[in-house]
Structure 1
Amino acid sequence: MHLDYMNFKRLIIYEAFARAYPGEKGKKFDSLIKDLERLKGMGINTVWLMPIHPTGIEGRKGTLGSPYAIRDYYEIDPFIGTKDDFKRFVKRAHELNMYVLMDMVLNHAAADNVLVRKHPEWFLRDENGNPTRKVPDWTDIVDFDYSNGELRKYMINMMKYWVGEFDVDGFRCDVAGLIPLDFWLQARKELDPVKRLIWLSETHDPYMYQAFDITYDYDGYYRFRDFIEGRGSLREYVDFLRMQDHMYPRGYIKMRFLENHDQPRIAKFIEEDSLIHWIAFLFTFKGVPLVHNGTGVRSQGGRGHIQRVHAT
């Protein structure tokens, strides 16, 4: 499918956690494929899949582990399905004129990622020479060291693999700001000739627009939270949104959201009668809206990938 600048402004993104979808173990893509027509009917034209790779075992958090602790970048979690299943999913999405974004978690990997033994020199090391991480609480992962040129080649070739073999349409790049900008520029230089992709950065830093098409609206989101939790006024929130026009490059595109898998369910803060109005605001404001898997469901629990609430 053809992508240009105007397409980006018309994106309506749905965040889907494949592992949480109904269905038998190994058959999650079947459920996702069946759900595409419903999503299309809602006006969704882009599906962002949270990580679909196998998760690490060492230091695992919870029964199934965090999807952001990846054990192998070239494989698909058998709990979700197979590579052939994924191809069917992408093919069906394209038949419905929908885009598919993969989650790229390139700052860190599971502590037992296959690369830890094969290429220990690709990882950040502590004073004893052991793989380590910059965020101590992330005990199930270790960080990559992007001063290593071979690591950069591996990551770029890996992204080329998912584009070339599965025809994915873009990447949502996890904690992209923790990875040097010149890596992302290099990735764009090598991947742009392969296919015009959607590049979504999980950061709100203005400089990231040098390499990305869309960034997160984290700065606006936290001011929204200040308002709905009584720490700020509506005027302060709206004024900040207007001020963003002076903070970001001309024509900037932000992904706007009321919640995502890293944030609490919006129903925790807003009554059901008001929620529909805020969802309408999300769809009319400047930028591209994100609908989180389960937004609108009467759930006031924790983060989405823990709650596993599926919209019906």
Structure 2
Amino acid sequence: MSTLQPELTLPAAANPSRPIDAADAKAVAKARKPRRTRKWGWSAFAIVIALIWVFPVYWMFNSSMLPNRTLQSFIPTFFPVGGSFQNFSKVVSDGKFYNALGMSVAITLTVVFFCLIFAFLASIAISRFRFRGRKSFVLAVLLVQMLPAEGLFIAQYKMMSSVGLLNSIVGVSIIYTAAVVPFTIWMLRGFVAGIPAELEEAAMVDGLSRTQAFLRITFPLLAPGLVASGVFAFLQAWNEFTVALVLLQSEESHTLPLWLRGFIQAGATRETDWGQVMAASTLIAVPVIIFFLIVQGRMTSGLVSGAVKG
């Protein structure tokens, strides 16, 4: 005896064999419309935020292309129509610019190099080894970051003066490295902790030594973290002003931020040429932009990885 069962009718989305009629297509399109509208809304909002963020940079470059009389007009000029690179040529003709550029490059490269080495070794130690005072060391790293830099100026000046390192690349690099290393250690610690030690152990089972396993397995995985930490150290050393103002008092040892201040003060005796000031600011920002373009891929992945690991 057969039992009659009611025939089940599946919707078009769940029954591929059933052809989609106009009503089903209309229902699907109606369901997707709010989602598409929200997506376009968020995209438009992100574009507006990006334009607001980029506008000061564009305004700096736009002003650097315009003569001073145009900048002093009450009517803003949003496009450098008829502009020229005359402001840039006047800035680079200043002999002190290249000296300040050399000082900034030397200090920044020194700080990034030693900061990454010290932070890398310290992050490996506190992430992979258990030793007495480990938690106290991590806590000390955090406490150092809380100290205001202005409260250390007198001690730093006396210390550098006592060893004859005022107005020198070495003295400023030591202070910068000491200021940047704590945060860099904390940043790299998350990357090292996010890489399982079992990867190295498996490589050692295959015949590699501990050093070879670390260099071939772990170190390549830490590349995004090293890039992200290097970017932070680069920005801190390149843009730092207050410590350099205290330790680099000689004009021959000025970095670019100090040179820019002196460049503005030199024009205070006459009418300030804001076009040249903006051109000088643009030249200072160019190395940072180039550096970001080179490392932006690894920096993005490094920041995201550091946010979810550790």
Give the TM-score range, shorter chain. Answer: under 0.3
Q: Compute the TM-score of the two structures, normalised by the length of structure 2.
A: 0.22
Q: Which has the higher contact order (CA 8 A, sep 6+)?
A: 2
Q: Compute the TM-score of the two structures, normalised by the length of structure 1.
A: 0.21
More strand by share: 1
